[in-house]
Structure 1
Amino acid sequence: MTYAASGDIAAAIADQSRANELARRDGNRVAHAISEYHLAAHYLERGDLRAADESAERAYRQSREIDMPGRAFKCRLIQARVHVRANDWEPALERVREAFAVIERGQVPDDALSDAVDLLVSAADRVPHARLVQTMRIAWPHVSQSGSTRLQEGAATLASILGIDQEMTTTRGATVAPPLDEEATLLPGQPEGDEHA
């Protein structure tokens, strides 16, 4: 049983810190990125939001440098959760957007995609509708075709919140962006044609 599984977060942090230092010393960039990610998760569990965000950012950059998009995605989700814990929902949503922006379809396991969809569902009544719609457009190709029951349920919930007909977003196996009114994606004061600002 790992320290984290036993609930000993302090020991888990110490253990991952040692692994992180060893990976850095040996020049093992993959192990370094992974241990930094696990440190971020442990810091978040302990409630040390600043340390969690900083570790996740380091792991994100390392993961991008060594072409580990799935790990980079998970790092951005940790940072989104940091903002959620601080009740700061718009930056949390931006981190989810960034997470989806770094991946191609099939590069992230369903459990991580489900976690991202859960964050979007939680954000639904806490962020401007336009921001949620913009993020959904980025996320939809990744989540709408999965065979995962949990992910499909989350996608259906989100589609319902946004008033999207889920059946209309797939044609002969190809996933397309949700058919939404462009005006719904405009933020207050934002000119038309600038919905991705």
Structure 2
Amino acid sequence: MFKEKENTDVKGRILEVARRLFIEKGYNGTSIRDIAAASETNVAMINYYYHSKYNLFEYIFEEAFDVVMNRVFSVLRSDMPILELIEKWIDSYYESLMEYPQIPIFILYEINQHPEKLPERIQRREPYDIFLNISKRLEEEGRLGNIRETSVLDLLLNILSLCVFPFIFGSLAVKVTGRSMEEYHEVLVQHKDYVKRFVIQALKP
């Protein structure tokens, strides 16, 4: 029993340290030795539990990506009024990325190093029917004159770029502006409301 708990504690400590270092230094800037030193373990232990740095990265990415996608898709499946749904959609991205800031960094790494894997991750979550339904709702609201005619792809690209880029830019913004990460997070909370107003205003006829 004690040995099992000890193993769980060690695995958890390695995960937490790896998550932090991947965010701070990126995947390529983080070595197994860095993770071992910061987690007070050793390279052999990390290889025993996770086999490789990429497997460790995969575990962290998949865990966080799953949480974020479940939250976002839960909103998109709802039948709330379309403008309210869009606001909640933006909320779900911002709140999830505040909790899992490693996601944009991991996505950039996957796009650069394993471009075939990100579409596979998304397709496993079966998004087609969700976005087909959103597309139909946008078409209907446009036909009724409630919003401007807008394709679901245009809306998706706008929301993703407005929501994800501020988190990619975060570490640079902190250095350029001389603010702390806590101060930058406060800016992001305010920026979320700006993004919602911006997107809703763009959809108004």
- Please indicate, yes or no, whether the TM-score normalized by the shorter chain is above 0.5: no
Larger radius of gyration: 2
TM-score, normalised on structure 2?
A: 0.30
Higher relative CO (CA 8 A, sep ≥ 6), structure 1 or 2?
2
Could you say which structure has the higher helix fraction?
Answer: 2
What is the TM-score with the length of structure 1 in the denominator? 0.31
